[in-house]
Amino acid sequence: MVVLSFYVVLPFLKAILAGMILSYVFYPVYTKINKKLNRKNLSSLIVSVLVILVITLPFFFIINAVSKEAYTTYIITRQKVSSGSLISTDCGQAANPICKFVDYAEAKFNDPQIRYQIDNSIKKASTYVIDGASNFVLSVPAFFLKFFIIIFVMFFFFRDGQLMVGKIEKLLPLKKTHQKYVFKKFKGVMSAVIYGNLIVAVIQGALGGIGFFIFGVPSPILWGIVMMFFSLIPYLGSSIVWFPAALMLLFNGYVQLDNTIMVKGILLIVWGIFIVGLADNFLKPKIIGNKANIHPVLVLLGVLGGLAAFGVIGLIIGPIILALLTTFIKIYEEEK
């Protein structure tokens, strides 16, 4: 029955785990509200709605800001393609290689066939984006179903979480001292992983914003906040923000024949790789390992293996599983 039940919940396992983790993170808020209201159902509902707002509102503003920037860039690019001035610069009689190359590129770009190919490529890219949006729309029902399960699980974990934990404690075939040790370890690792990820995301966003300010990228505070949120997303991370910005600096410097801007673009890439990017690889295992009292290698393996096994939620689940494994091994050694 356990195996069959596992297969029943398997399609929604990630949503269930996400609901459990969110209920753990926001449980102190629920406790404070419930003390004032003394009504579990109402308190759970209020905190669940609060969690929905905390998760969705920042991404709404970020997507709105990014979409406006992307749309403006798209319109400007299309206008330059139509006028044949995507690469326009006045080199005069300058004989340096950069000027000659720019003149050659401009002459080639003004070729009707090449302009047609570039314009066609932009249209294909637009079609690809539209198709991706259509596929996203088709996946919306499944997304909302999983989101509903997350909120549903979170609501009942707020309300009945202590009862569930108490039943699990009774079912564990361990001594009372070992039970307390296991749950203490679980809480320690859970809080370390969650707050470690948040701290590293804030650090990466701050470092990214500082880099944008140093190298002259507009709106460094806004993009720093955007990088902070993207730092929480595996595989994408902050590079999805700073790398296009660096390429834009290189492109602007090349078009304007300004070596200073091009150097800024190169330095921003170096800053993104060695300052912003490596902060995640070095700080996260260190912060989580120290706070949870587990080896940084286990943290790194737990994060990478958890991502492969559970997706985004594996960032938290992976290190917890390995930490609990070491805990049970330690108990086994003591008993033996």
How far is residue 196's CA from residue 213's CA, in Å, rounded to a whole number?
26
pLDDT at position 190 is: 87
pLDDT at position 107 is: 63
- Residue 251, CB-side half-sphere exposure with 13 Å CA sphere: 9
pLDDT at position 8 is: 93
pLDDT at position 174 is: 85
Tokens 């990466």 map to which residue? Answer: 204
pLDDT at position 142 is: 77
How far is residue 314's CA from residue 302's CA, in Å, rounded to a whole number?
8
pLDDT at position 140 is: 65
Query: How far is residue 15 from each of residues 4, 47, 175, 307, 314, measured CA to CA in Å?
Result: 18, 18, 32, 14, 12
pLDDT at position 69 is: 60
pLDDT tens digit at each of 336 positions of the chain? 999 999 999 988 888 988 988 898 899 999 999 999 989 999 999 999 998 888 787 777 766 666 666 666 666 656 655 555 544 444 554 455 555 555 666 566 566 777 667 667 766 766 766 666 666 566 667 778 888 898 999 999 999 988 888 888 888 888 888 888 888 888 889 888 888 888 999 999 999 999 999 988 888 888 888 888 888 877 677 888 888 888 877 777 666 666 787 788 889 999 998 888 888 878 888 888 888 888 888 888 998 898 888 888 888 889 999 999 999 999 998 887
CA-wise closest residue to 252 among 260, 244, 261: 261
pLDDT at position 165 is: 85
pLDDT at position 70 is: 61
pLDDT at position 287 is: 87
Contact between 296 and 280 under an 8 Å Cβ cutoff? The reply is no
pLDDT at position 137 is: 60
pLDDT at position 99 is: 57
Query: How far is residue 108 from each of residues 67, 89, 121, 125, 160, measured CA to CA in Å?
Result: 31, 14, 16, 22, 69
pTM: 0.68
